[in-house]
Amino acid sequence: MVEGLGGIDAIAISHPHFYTTMVEWARAFTARIHLHAADKQWIMRSDPAVELWDGETKVLWDGVTLVRCGGHFEGGTVLHWAGGAGGRGVVCVGDILTVATDRKWLSFMRSYPNFIPLSARSVNKIGAALKPFAFETIYGHYFDRVIAKDGKAVLGASVARYVAAIEGKRGYE
């Protein structure tokens, strides 16, 4: 079915939690795997399909860019698709940015299993990494976790709210 739709040329994975079967998928579709070099120590199976990239962004195709945000892994990556949402832009964030249950906010964690928050510095870095990109919609790592509109504004408000909370300032409720 996937081959009938044109196949898969590239696989981009946000961070090591999702590295598990990447080689099998790449072989099944003769696809390249794009991983940020900052997380290379976590690659448990080397393969010629794995392509490491450095820097803060990597353009895959015109209008499709990987953005290094960091977060709970140094190479934490999101994907920006300029043509998504009817040309208003989409960001696919995995859990580098977490779409909250109410779908009105984003949150950020260093360790989800242990409920350890990210530092204010790290969260500000995520906001700065995405600042150059226009986007309306944010797709999280759960299928029902989508911020359908005003995604860029939600990111800005969420960064400010999170930093205020982590620094112990009032007004973030």
Instruction: Report the CATH number at residue 143.
Output: 3.60.15.10
Residue 47 lies in a domain: no
Tokens read off for 117:
């928050």
Residue 101 lies in a domain: yes
In the DSSP assignment, the letter for residue 41 is G
- What's the pTM? 0.94
Residue 40 lies in a domain: no
CB 18 within 8 A of CB 25: no
d(CA 132, CA 149) in angstroms, rounded, equals 18
DSSP 118-143: PPHHHHHHHHHHHTT---SEEEESST
Task: Give residue 15's pLDDT.
Answer: 93
Residue 65 lies in a domain: yes
Residue 104 lies in a domain: yes
Domain of residue 108: give its range: 56-166
The count of structural domains within the chain is: 1
Residue 96 lies in a domain: yes
Output phi, psi for 49, to 5 deg.
Answer: -70, -20
Please list the pLDDT of the chain residue by residue as tens digits (173 residues): 888 888 999 999 999 988 999 999 999 999 999 999 999 999 999 999 999 999 999 999 999 999 999 999 999 999 999 999 999 999 999 999 999 999 999 999 999 889 899 999 999 999 999 999 999 999 999 989 999 999 999 999 999 999 999 998 876 66
Closest by CA position to 134, among listed 96, 86, 75:
86
Residue 113 lies in a domain: yes
Tokens read off for 120:
């204010």
Residue 134 lies in a domain: yes
